[in-house]
Structures are given as structure tokens and as C-alpha cells.
């Protein structure tokens, strides 16, 4: 039976202080901590602070402070034994009464621990020599094997069962034993290298077994099924060992496989965990957030572009986490990359990781020709489902800005598309001119004013250029042709110069409600001002890119020249 101090430490390790306090106090994040109005004295300005990382609270007003137990004792008016029982119930830990036997869950935990020890002993015995040789050939040393408690399940149908003959029902509950149709019980794991799966507190909750002798039609890895101790999508492999290093370094590296994590640890990189080959869940993302605010994905090249990975990244972003990525050479995972290139090069990749948004947009741009509008439209069609599924407003706004810069499109155009019904974006070859966007964007307003005679074509051409148009450059070119031949841009003349698609668009603009009907003059000036501001923004983005490139190659002089040009453009923008 566990003593009370051990139970207390287990409860403390599982409690998320922000989740706990947040049930009683409205909290808002401020930097790495959370603040709110103190529940222990009256105040109008928040002086109550909670540290999720340290698991403590403190009020700078009434000086109340302490850990989760102190908080519950104060807020619920409990003594310590009552607070311990209260919190233990919150995190699913049973506290046995005096003279009471261990609970069923505690018995299962103890059995898992005994199974892990048994597999370790088998690996260290003569019967495990072939598995030891295999691990050595993979570059794994004995110290690391012990750190991760790697073991071996011998070939044969009832080795584990015969070791725990009186606990067969528990073995079935834990998924370690299987019953066939004839009612015969046998070991789930046979002739496999065994990796214990531990929760954040280091307790064994399940196992993964890798084939030692691959068989056709048999999976390379087999995991424990869902059990009372192990729920799918709640665990990160190695999280019990990675937590302290993640907090110290400020980031957590997310890999795919067990051996990736093990190889990194053996080479001195300890802030690593594995998603175990599944799309990252919200629970796993929340678990990452307990240890860090930044996650770096170190997946192989094939996986990095899969939709399952994007869903996982969405979960991380929803938790407010910053997401970076590294790109490995084709055919490599972190394990093989470290073996072939050395840990220094892998560490350099982590140090120079790129943001997810940058790599995601690069991936989209490679799939389409964005020199014309159709290609840009296809990129947006591909990106919009991801954007629409992202409820974190900070990261959604950030991705919109990145797409705007990459596609040279105004932010508001992307935002309008984001608000449009999904069915309007269903096909990648859809024409932008048939979209029902609800109201006119800046470019549409400009053409509205032109075809209704509120803005002279002479003034428009004196202030605007072809590159100012992200979506309607083609129509601008047609208007110029019409003006050269007809001397005007009247609607009846324009129809001679445009195809059916643009005729539809012109009709829509001609019957649209005037968004500036109360003040036509002001509306015209605002639209022209928008184009000027957008031109300055493009110049600023180009200069910022050129400055980064100059700095990356060590050309300080060129960087200074570009910095001055950037200041000049920023001043001009401010003065307009």
C-alpha cells in the first residue's frame, strides 16, 4: 500500500494548477503566468497570480499563497486529509483506508510495474541476447536501454501468463493476454522488443512491442489496447523524462517513433517525446502545454505533409502553442539522421527550425503556379479548410498575414474568403468572379466607382499601376484597352472587350449597393488611399526580406543600405 506522502506527491504531479484554480477564479494569461481577482479578499484590480509550471498560487494583496493543497484547504474550508482526498478524486487516485486492500486500479498499476521488470530481466538473460545484439546494431547502449526500461518478450504463447498465473484476469484487463475463439488464453506480445509506456509521472500504463523477426502480414509494432490505465491519444512517449529539459530549454521536440526519442536521449537531447504514430490529439497538445510554450515537429518528410499531421498541428495551435518544424533529408527519420550525420547537425536543425506557417505556405506554393490569379486562388482553396478549423484568433490572423505576404494579396481579401460559405470554395478551379462575398472589397469598390463615373479613368491611371491589383489585374488591363479605343470606360463599351466571366462580374458590380452612398467623394479617396498603403506594405515586405537575406550571408553594409531604404518607405507611408 502506498504511504500518504507518496500519494500526496502523485496527486501533486497530476494536478494542473491553472485548471484547478480556474474552476473558482476567472484567469487570464499574462506572460508565463495567469492572473485574476483573488478569491480570498475583495479587490477590484487582479493581484492573484498562478504559476502553471511551478504549481503554486500567490496573492500580492492578502499574501495568501501555496500549492494545490493549500488552495483547496482555503477555498473549500477543508483540513489537509480532506483536501488530499478531494484532489485525489479529481485526478483518479484512490486513497486506501486503514486495513483496506489496494484498489483495483492500484493493483493494475503494480502488475504493470512487475511486467516491465520481468521483461527487463528477460532481455538481460541469455534468452534475450539476440534482442540485445539487435539493439546494439541500432546504436543503442545498455545505459540508455535501462533508462527507458527496454525489455524482451520471448517467442512462445504463454511465457507471461505462466509468470503471473494467479493474475490472468488482470492480464486480460491490461491487454497483455488475449483469449481466442476456443477460449484459450495466450500472450499478446511474443518475440518482440518491449517498450514500457509511462505517464507524465513515470508510472507504466502500457507497452509497445517491436518485432524482432519480421513476419509478413504482421505489424512491426503492436501497442497495448485501451485499458483502464491507458486511453488512446492521452500519452506522449518519453514525457516523464522530457519534462524538466523542456521547461529548461523552453521547447519540446515532437517526434514520431520510440527509437527516435531514445536515440535523441542517448545523444544528449532530452526534451523530446513521440506521438506514437497517430495524429496529435487535443489531450496530447494540452500535455505539451504543461511543459512548454513552443513545440518543434521533427517528423520525416513524408509525414510532414499529411493531413493527419495538420490536424495535430491545429491542436497545438488551439492550445496557444508556437509550432516550429525541421525538414530532414528524404528517407530519414531523427534516429537514422543522427546515426548518419551526428547529433551536432541534428541539434543545428533544431536550433534553426522554421515556423510551421513558413513551411506550410512553402508546401502550398510548390503545388501551384502562383504567377497568376488562378494559382493563388488554388493555394487559398487548399489553405482555407485549415484556416476555418483554427479557432485560435491569434494564430489565424498570423496565417492570414503570412498568406497575404506570400501571395501578394490584401489581408481583407483572404478574410472575406474565410467568411464565405464553404461550398463557395469547394473546387480548386473556381473562378473568383463568381464568388458571393457579401460586400465589395477594395478592388471591387474601385471598379464600382470607375464604371459608375464616380472616379475618372485618367485619375485612376495616374495613381495606380497593374501590380497594385491582386485579383482584378485582368479587368484593369481590359479597362485600359477599352479607354484607349473608345475614350471611356462606360459599361456598354466594356462588354465589347471582356469574356462571359468578366461580363458576369461587371453585372454584379453594376447592380451592387454603393458601400459609400452617404459620401461618394470620401469613398473614392478611401479606396485610393488603400491602394497606396498596400503598395507601401509590399515595399516594406520586400525590403524586410532583402535585409534578412543580406544578414544571413553576413553582408552588413548591404543590410545597412536596405535598413535606410526601409526607414524611408516607412516614413513615406506614415506621412501619406
Cell of 494: 466594356
pLDDT at 210: 94
Give the DSSP per-residue string, 452-463: TTSS-HHHHHHH
Same domain, 283 and 327: yes
pLDDT at 15: 86
pLDDT at 435: 34
23: number of Cβ within 10 Å = 8
Instruction: Please indicate, yes or no, if residue 484 is contained in any of the structural domains.
Output: no
Instruction: Please indicate, yes or no, if residue 350 is contained in any of the structural domains.
Output: yes
Cell of 202: 513515470
In the three-class reduction of DSSP (H, G, I as helix; E, B as strand; rest coil), residue 246 is classed as helix
In the three-class reduction of DSSP (H, G, I as helix; E, B as strand; rest coil), residue 287 is classed as helix
**Are 15 and 66 in contact, with CB atoms under 8 Å apart?**
no
Residue 398, H or E segment: helix 393-407
Cell of 233: 491519444
Domain of residue 353, CATH code: 3.40.1360.10
Instruction: Please indicate, yes or no, if residue 198 is contained in any of the structural domains.
Output: yes
Instruction: Please indicate, yes or no, if residue 451 is contained in any of the structural domains.
Output: no
Give the closest residue to 565 by CA, choosing from 541, 546, 543: 543
Report in angstroms the alpha-carbon separations of 529 from 190, 443, 521, 532: 72, 12, 12, 5
Distance CA 83, CA 69 (A): 6
Same domain, 45 and 138: no
Cell of 509: 458590380
Tell me which residue range forms the domain holding 553. 520-575
pLDDT at 504: 62
Give the closest residue to 431 by CA, choosing from 534, 508, 535: 508
pLDDT at 428: 32
pLDDT at 149: 95
**Are 272 and 255 in contact, with CB atoms under 8 Å apart?**
yes
pLDDT at 254: 93
Same domain, 9 and 68: yes
Distance CA 13, CA 55 (A): 9
pLDDT at 419: 66
pLDDT at 472: 74
Q: Are strands 65-66 and 56-59 parallel, antiparallel or unpaired?
A: antiparallel
Q: At what angle do helices 500-511 and 442-451 cross, to 10 degrees?
A: 80
Same domain, 86 and 122: no
Question: Which letter, b or e, does each residue of 168-200 get, where b requires 16 or more Cβ atoms within 10 Å of its Cβ?
Answer: eebbbbbbbbeeeeeeeeebbbbbbbbbbbbbb
Give the closest residue to 470 by CA, choosing from 534, 558, 421: 534
Q: Provide the domain count of the chain.
A: 4
**Are 83 and 66 in contact, with CB atoms under 8 Å apart?**
no
Distance of CA 365 to the CA centre of its chain: 20
Give the closest residue to 269 by CA, choosing from 240, 293, 234, 245: 245
Cell of 60: 500580492
Instruction: Please indicate, yes or no, if residue 462 is contained in any of the structural domains.
Output: no
Residues 6+ away with beta carbon under 8 Å from 1 = 96, 101, 102
Domain of residue 151, CATH code: 3.90.980.10
Instruction: Please indicate, yes or no, if residue 153 is contained in any of the structural domains.
Output: yes
Same domain, 342 and 254: yes
pLDDT at 505: 66
Same domain, 127 and 209: yes
pTM given for the model: 0.59
Distance CA 130, CA 291 (A): 38
Same domain, 217 and 285: no
Distance CA 71, CA 58 (A): 10
pLDDT tens for the chain, 576 residues: list them: 456 777 888 888 888 888 888 878 878 888 778 888 999 988 888 889 998 878 889 988 888 888 899 999 888 888 888 889 888 877 777 777 666 566 788 889 889 999 999 999 999 999 999 999 999 998 899 999 999 999 999 999 999 999 999 999 999 999 999 998 888 999 999 999 999 999 887 889 999 999 998 877 778 889 999 898 888 788 899 998 998 888 888 899 999 889 999 999 999 999 999 987 667 888 888 888 878 889 999 876 554 445 446 778 888 888 888 999 988 877 788 888 898 889 999 999 999 998 888 888 888 888 888 887 778 888 888 888 888 777 777 888 888 888 888 888 888 777 777 665 443 333 333 333 333 323 567 788 888 887 777 888 788 888 887 777 777 777 777 777 777 776 666 655 566 666 655 666 666 666 555 555 557 778 888 888 888 888 888 788 788 878 887 777 777 788 788 888 878 777 776 666
Distance CA 305, CA 364 (A): 10
Same domain, 192 and 254: no
Distance CA 154, CA 192 (A): 7
**Cα angle value 559/565/571 (rounded, 5°):** 135
Same domain, 300 and 195: no
Residue 264, H or E segment: helix 258-266
Q: Are strands 185-187 and 177-179 parallel, antiparallel or unpaired?
A: antiparallel
Domain of residue 60, CATH code: 3.90.580.10
Give the closest residue to 195 by CA, choosing from 140, 254, 129: 140
pLDDT at 423: 37
Same domain, 114 and 190: yes
Same domain, 80 and 192: no
Same domain, 50 and 136: no
Distance CA 323, CA 557 (A): 33
pLDDT at 424: 34
Instruction: Please indicate, yes or no, if residue 158 is contained in any of the structural domains.
Output: yes
Distance of CA 480 to the CA centre of its chain: 47
Give the closest residue to 234 by CA, choosing from 349, 92, 424, 121: 92
Phi, psi of 61 (to 5 degrees): -90, -65
pLDDT at 436: 31
Cell of 183: 477460449
Distance CA 241, CA 268 (A): 12
**Are 303 and 278 in contact, with CB atoms under 8 Å apart?**
no
Greatest C-alpha distance within the chain = 101
pLDDT at 543: 83
Residue 527, H or E segment: helix 520-552
pLDDT at 433: 35
**Are 442 and 530 in contact, with CB atoms under 8 Å apart?**
yes
458: Cα within 13 Å, side-chain hemisphere = 1
Distance CA 47, CA 477 (A): 61
Report the chain's C-alpha Rg in angstroms: 31
pLDDT at 142: 92
**Are 447 and 509 in contact, with CB atoms under 8 Å apart?**
yes
pLDDT at 102: 66
Cell of 419: 467568411
Instruction: Please indicate, yes or no, if residue 279 is contained in any of the structural domains.
Output: yes
Residue that is last in its domain, among 223, 251, 270:
223
Q: Which residues pair with 253 in a beta bridge?
A: 272, 296
Amino acid at each position: 500500500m502506498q504511504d500518504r506522502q507518496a500519494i500526496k506527491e502523485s496527486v501533486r504531479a497530476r494536478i494542473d494548477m491553472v485548471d484547478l484554480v480556474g474552476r473558482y477564479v476567472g484567469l487570464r494569461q499574462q506572460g508565463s503566468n495567469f492572473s485574476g481577482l483573488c478569491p480570498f479578499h475583495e479587490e477590484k484590480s487582479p493581484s492573484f497570480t498562478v504559476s502553471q509550471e511551478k504549481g503554486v498560487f500567490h496573492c500580492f494583496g492578502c499574501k495568501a499563497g501555496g500549492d494545490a493543497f493549500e488552495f483547496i484547504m482555503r477555498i473549500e474550508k477543508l483540513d489537509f486529509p480532506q483536501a488530499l482526498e478531494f484532489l485525489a478524486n479529481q485526478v483518479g487516485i484512490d486513497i486506501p483506508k486503514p486495513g483496506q486492500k489496494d484498489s483495483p486500479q492500484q493493483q493494475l498499476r503494480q502488475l504493470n510495474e512487475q511486467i516491465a521488470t520481468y521483461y527487463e530481466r528477460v532481455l538481460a538473460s541469455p534468452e534475450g541476447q539476440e534482442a540485445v545484439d539487435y539493439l546494439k546494431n541500432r546504436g543503442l547502449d545498455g545505459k540508455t536501454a535501462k533508462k527507458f526500461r527496454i525489455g524482451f518478450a520471448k517467442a512462445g504463447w504463454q511465457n507471461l501468463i505462466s509468470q503471473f498465473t494467479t493474475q490472468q484476469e488482470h492480464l486480460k484487463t491490461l491487454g497483455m493476454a488475449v483469449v481466442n475463439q476456443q477460449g484459450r488464453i495466450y500472450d499478446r506480445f511474443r518475440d518482440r522488443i518491449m517498450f514500457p509506456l509511462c505517464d507524465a509521472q513515470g508510472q507504466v500504463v502500457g507497452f509497445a512491442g517491436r518485432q524482432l523477426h519480421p513476419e509478413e502480414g504482421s505489424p512491426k509494432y503492436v501497442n497495448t489496447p485501451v485499458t483502464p490505465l491507458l486511453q488512446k491519444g492521452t500519452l506522449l512517449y518519453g514525457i516523464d523524462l522530457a519534462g524538466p529539459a523542456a521547461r529548461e530549454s523552453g521547447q519540446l521536440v515532437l517526434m514520431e517513433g520510440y527509437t527516435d526519442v531514445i536515440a535523441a536521449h542517448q545523444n544528449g537531447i532530452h526534451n523530446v517525446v513521440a506521438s506514437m504514430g497517430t495524429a496529435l490529439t487535443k489531450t496530447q497538445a494540452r500535455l505539451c502545454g504543461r511543459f512548454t510554450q513552443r513545440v518543434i515537429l521533427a517528423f520525416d518528410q513524408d509525414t510532414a505533409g499529411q493531413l493527419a499531421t495538420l490536424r495535430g498541428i491545429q491542436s497545438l495551435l488551439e492550445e496557444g502553442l508556437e509550432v516550429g518544424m525541421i525538414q530532414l533529408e528524404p528517407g530519414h527519420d531523427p534516429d537514422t539522421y543522427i546515426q548518419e550525420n551526428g547529433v551536432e547537425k541534428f541539434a543545428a536543425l533544431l536550433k534553426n527550425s522554421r515556423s510551421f506557417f513558413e513551411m506550410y505556405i512553402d508546401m502550398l506554393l510548390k503545388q501551384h503556379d502562383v504567377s497568376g490569379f488562378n494559382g493563388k486562388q488554388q493555394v487559398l482553396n487548399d489553405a482555407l479548410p485549415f484556416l476555418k478549423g483554427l479557432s485560435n484568433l491569434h494564430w489565424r490572423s498570423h496565417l492570414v498575414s503570412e498568406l497575404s505576404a506570400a501571395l501578394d494579396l490584401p489581408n481583407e481579401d483572404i478574410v472575406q474568403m474565410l467568411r464565405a460559405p464553404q461550398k463557395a470554395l469547394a473546387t480548386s478551379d473556381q473562378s473568383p468572379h463568381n464568388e458571393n462575398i457579401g460586400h465589395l472589397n477594395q478592388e471591387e469598390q474601385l471598379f464600382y466607382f470607375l464604371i459608375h463615373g464616380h472616379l475618372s479613368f485618367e485619375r485612376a491611371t495616374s495613381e495606380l499601376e497593374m501590380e497594385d491589383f491582386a485579383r482584378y489585374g485582368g479587368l484593369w488591363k481590359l479597362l485600359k484597352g477599352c479607354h484607349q479605343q473608345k475614350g471611356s470606360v462606360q459599361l456598354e463599351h466594356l462588354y465589347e472587350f471582356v469574356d462571359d466571366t468578366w461580363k458576369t462580374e461587371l453585372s454584379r458590380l453594376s447592380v451592387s449597393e454603393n458601400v459609400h452612398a452617404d459620401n461618394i467623394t470620401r469613398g473614392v479617396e478611401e479606396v485610393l488611399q488603400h491602394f497606396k498603403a498596400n503598395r507601401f506594405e509590399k515595399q516594406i515586405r520586400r525590403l524586410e526580406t532583402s535585409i534578412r537575406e543580406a544578414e544571413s550571408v553576413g553582408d552588413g553594409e548591404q543590410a545597412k543600405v536596405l535598413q535606410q531604404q526601409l526607414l524611408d518607405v516607412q516614413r513615406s507611408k506614415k506621412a501619406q
